Amino acid sequence: MGASINTSQSEPLFVEWMRHRQQEQRRHQPVVAQRHATADGSEASNVHAQEVAWAERHAHERRLHDSAIAQLRHD
């Protein structure tokens, strides 16, 4: 019984986190598209660095997501 209570308490936090993550992705997509459309050779390394930073954050968020799912399954 205690596990189901903990899971029901964790679920709203997970849903909130997932919504926030989706909002960030929706906000980021037009920015990347605009950078690609307007980038010239002088900005290429800066655009690439920003995309790498975003990819690293995205990978970190994915690991957090996987960890949260695993924790919910074990509770």
Q: What is the pLDDT of residues 16-40, one digit of tens each?
A: 888 888 888 888 787 777 766 665 6
Residue 49, pLDDT score: 84
Predicted structure pTM score: 0.43
3-state secondary structure 3-70: HHHHHHHHHHHHHHHHHHHHHHHHHHHHHHHHHHHHCCHHHHHHHHHHHHHHHHHHHHHHHHHHHHHH
Q: Return the higher-pLDDT residue of 37 and 56.
A: 56
Flag whether pLDDT at 2 surpasses 60. Answer: no
